[in-house]
Amino acid sequence: MRPVLIAGLQTAGRPGDVDGNLALLDSAAAQAAARGAELLITPEMFLTGYDLAGGLPELTALAARDLLGPAGEIARRHGLAILLGAPEAAPEGLYNAAFFLDETGRVATRYRKAHLFGELDHGLFRAGGELFGCVEFRGLRIAICICYDVEFPETVRAAALDGAHLVAVPTAQMTPFTFVAEQLVRARAWENQVYLAYVNHDGAEASLTYVGRSSIVAPDATVLDAVGHGDALIYGTVDPAVVAAARAANPYLVDRRRDLYA
Amino acid sequence: MRPVLIAGLQTAGRPGDVDGNLALLDSAAAQAAARGAELLITPEMFLTGYDLAGGLPELTALAARDLLGPAGEIARRHGLAILLGAPEAAPEGLYNAAFFLDETGRVATRYRKAHLFGELDHGLFRAGGELFGCVEFRGLRIAICICYDVEFPETVRAAALDGAHLVAVPTAQMTPFTFVAEQLVRARAWENQVYLAYVNHDGAEASLTYVGRSSIVAPDATVLDAVGHGDALIYGTVDPAVVAAARAANPYLVDRRRDLYA
């Protein structure tokens, strides 16, 4: 295992404009690859937009397009993996999903948001049936969850117990929840000794204003990179040896009283 | 149910000097009662000291004294409850305990630290068999845990699901763990919508230097009162109506995916 540089794209995106978002993704992938990043993480529902003026009908129409083909082509062209926030159309309805496209453009795994938030999520999506997604990539074990999922300590704990080095979190965190972006994600990293990449929307959509404040946090809660508002790429190196050292320094995972947890 | 003012005593205490600590407690109880507080919380192992130069033999001798009689008399005299950090001598060995003495001096409940930390705890104590203690007091449901316990999200989650309004945490948090005192306790309050009182040692004992930084935090993670270093009383009002409002604003407890948690 070796250190792996990852990148996160914070952006307002172009709500409802898939081609515009593909162009943004292509540009970000080029920049991240040039910097040496091997994985690029987008915000939640990046490719279509999330809180669209046209609501469920607009999103359903966008989700019917081939979204993963062109996104996979961007991954392949730039030779880096992409964790892509996008809707997934299924016979039973839409899911708020994240797709891990490897550097060949293949979908290595797909995760469906498990904890739906408020009227927006419940009005658009069905809930996923897995607590987190999981992919092995360049010697890293990467757990995937989306936005509200990470606010539940149960999610990240389960990922850490499953051996995750990195929890990758496409998100669309809106006002007034700055506490989550600035504080809670650091607590999740600390209490589980995992890297955590929290990659947010910025700007506004139909009814939501996002808080930006994306960050990549180390297992000791150190903020490796972060941004306030604005479109930006953030970077962090994920090193399995650092995870192992953090787990020796703070042995929460072995000191758990499983016999007492319901 | 009505708001209840609580107080926390941060102090270096007098390691190994029970009579000296009783005098400190008496003085703090007088001040807190005069201010209108109905509950006074001490640090972990306050009454005897924690990391004593004489180690287990010294602590065992101190624990054999009548500790709760004189402490209960202080509670009764000042007419306020005291959550007291002290050792408990049992036939099988010592526990790192906290005793809830009501305003008549009666022991309403006793909690034994469940998550033992490092060589110090393991060298002195047996581990408790309950995840948290629980007491009903003036219409509040108060959960009790000690120091390292609160760093495990499982502990506070269980307390919140059990209906706690306040999680009271006598602690002895040492360097370099300022992150816990400054950040993690706020995350615990936020993610569970509970008040949290984190009442720490200050100063130094045989081998440990404490970080101070006691705080009382509201269910929205607002710090109601806090202190850096030094002996101090901190105060906060615990209002069950605020807990209810916080749980409506952030419905984590009802949005949990229990079906997915192992």
Checking DSSP bridges between strand A215-217 and strand A223-226, what pairing results, if any? antiparallel
Answer yes or no: do B157 and A154 touch at CB < 8 A.
Answer: yes
Mean pLDDT score across all residues of chain A = 97
CA distances from B12 to B56, B109, B145, B229 (A): 20, 25, 20, 9
Give residue A172's pLDDT: 98
Answer yes or no: do A131 and B260 touch at CB < 8 A.
Answer: yes
- For the segment A129-134, the average pLDDT, to the nearest whole number, is 98
Choose the closest CB to A115 out of B186, B191, B257: B257
**Residue ranges covered by each domain of chain B:** 4-260
- For the segment A256-261, the average pLDDT, to the nearest whole number, is 97
Q: How far is B27 from chain A (nearest CA, A)?
A: 36
Strand blocks (E) in A102-231: 107-112, 133-137, 140-144, 166-171, 195-200, 215-217, 223-226
Answer yes or no: do A252 and B158 touch at CB < 8 A.
Answer: no
Answer yes or no: do A184 and B187 touch at CB < 8 A.
Answer: yes
DSSP for residue A260: G
Answer yes or no: do B262 and A158 touch at CB < 8 A.
Answer: yes
CA-nearest residue to B157 within chain A is A153
Closest among B131, B117, B213 to B164, alpha carbons compared:
B131
Answer yes or no: do A255 and B148 touch at CB < 8 A.
Answer: yes
Q: How far is B40 from chain A (nearest CA, A)?
A: 28
Answer yes or no: do A261 and B184 touch at CB < 8 A.
Answer: no
Rounded Cα distance, B107 and B75, in Å = 11
DSSP for residue B15: T
Residues of B engaging A, defined by a Cβ cutoff of 8 Å: 114-117, 127, 129-131, 148, 151-154, 157-158, 179, 183-184, 186-188, 190-191, 220-221, 252, 255-257, 260-262
For residue B90, the tally of other CB atoms under 10 A from its CB is 12
Closest among A123, A121, A103 to A112, alpha carbons compared:
A121
Q: What angle do CA A156, A255, B147 make, to 5 degrees?
A: 90
- For the segment B49-53, the average pLDDT, to the nearest whole number, is 97
Q: How far is A117 from chain B (nearest CA, A)?
A: 8
pLDDT level of residue A242 (50, 70, 90 thresholds): very high
Question: What residues of A are in contact with residue B187 (Cβ under 8 Å)?
Answer: 183-184, 187-188
pTM equals 0.97
Give residue A262's pLDDT: 81
pLDDT tens string A50-64 = 999 999 999 999 999
Tell me the CATH number of domain A4-260, given options 2.60.120.380, 3.60.110.10, 3.10.180.10, 2.40.240.10: 3.60.110.10
B44 is catalytic: yes
CB A247 within 8 A of CB A21: no
Q: Does the structure show a pLDDT above 90 at B53?
A: yes
Give residue B164's pLDDT: 98
For residue B139, the tally of other CB atoms under 10 A from its CB is 12
Rounded Cα distance, A85 and A69, in Å = 14
pLDDT tens string A56-98 = 999 999 999 999 999 999 999 999 999 999 999 999 999 999 9
CA-nearest residue to A181 within chain B is B187
Give residue A1's pLDDT: 79
Checking DSSP bridges between strand B4-10 and strand B39-41, what pairing results, if any? parallel
Rounded Cα distance, A88 and B143, in Å = 43
Rounded Cα distance, A162 and B84, in Å = 38
For residue B91, the tally of other CB atoms under 10 A from its CB is 4
Residues of A with catalytic function:
44, 113, 147
DSSP for residue B213: -
Q: Does the structure show a pLDDT above 90 at A9?
A: yes
B113 is catalytic: yes
**CB-hemisphere CA count at 13 Å for B226?**
18
Give residue B51's pLDDT: 97
pLDDT tens string A157-203 = 999 999 999 999 999 999 999 999 999 999 999 999 999 999 999 99
pLDDT tens string B122-164 = 999 999 999 999 999 999 999 999 999 999 999 999 999 999 9
